[in-house]
């Protein structure tokens, strides 16, 4: 009986490019959602009050601004794992607020697609094309100077 020894050959540069592209597209989606929340801020804040959330104006503005910063941090790759995990929760809350608690199938499908796009970054890290990698590389180079 022949023995099989399979190894997964992964090109790290292509993997990093793939993770960067998923981060970029997911970050652009977060920026799009944040801009939608800010452009329709009256409806957004009215829905927060109608749902009975405490301090609806502060919570609504905090969600919209946090989506904006999470999108930018995700594109840059700074604290990428944490930002990707938090982005999922904040986007879900913003969707509940934006649609006033009435979920439609399109929103649920888009949220699942966003989760699928952010899972590689959350689980595997940001890759070489990120500020996290550059920071870790500089720290390792400084630590091992001799």
pLDDT at 90: 92
Asked if the structure places residue 125 within a domain, the reply is: yes
Q: How far is CA 35 from CA 69, 80, 142, in A?
A: 11, 21, 40
Asked if the structure places residue 56 within a domain, the reply is: yes
Report pTM: 0.83
Q: Which whole number is the average pLDDT over 100-109?
A: 79
* pLDDT at residue 146 tops 60: no
Phi-psi region of 104 (alpha: psi -120 to 50; beta: other; left: phi over 0): beta
Q: Which whole number is the average pLDDT over 111-138?
A: 89
Asked if the structure places residue 38 within a domain, the reply is: yes
Name the residue with tokens 């990428």: 80
pLDDT at 96: 84
Asked if the structure places residue 63 within a domain, the reply is: yes
Summarize pLDDT for 117-126 with one digit per residue, the tens. 998 888 888 8
Mean pLDDT of the chain: 87
C-alpha dihedral (82, 85, 86, 90), degrees to nearest 10: 160
Considering its fold, how many domains does the chain have in total? 1
Asked if the structure places residue 2 within a domain, the reply is: no
Range of the domain at 51: 12-143
Asked if the structure places residue 131 within a domain, the reply is: yes
Summarize pLDDT for 34-81 with one digit per residue, the tens. 998 889 889 888 888 888 889 989 998 999 999 999 999 999 999 999
Asked if the structure places residue 3 within a domain, the reply is: no
Asked if the structure places residue 36 within a domain, the reply is: yes
């Amino acid at each position: 009986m022949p023995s099989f020894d399979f190894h997964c050959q992964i090109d790290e540069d292509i993997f990093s490019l793939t993770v960067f592209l998923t981060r970029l597209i997911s970050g652009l989606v977060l920026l799009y959602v944040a801009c939608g929340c800010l452009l329709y801020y009256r409806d957004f804040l009215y829905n927060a009050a109608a749902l009975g959330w405490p301090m609806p104006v502060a919570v609504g503005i905090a969600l919209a601004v946090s989506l904006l910063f999470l999108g930018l941090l995700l594109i840059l790759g700074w604290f990428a794992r944490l930002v990707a995990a938090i982005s999922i929760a904040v986007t879900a809350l913003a969707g509940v607020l934006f649609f006033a608690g009435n979920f439609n199938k399109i929103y649920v499908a888009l949220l699942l697609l966003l989760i699928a796009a952010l899972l590689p970054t959350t689980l595997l890290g940001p890759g070489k094309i990120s500020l996290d990698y550059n920071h870790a590389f500089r720290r390792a180079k400084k630590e091992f100077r001799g």
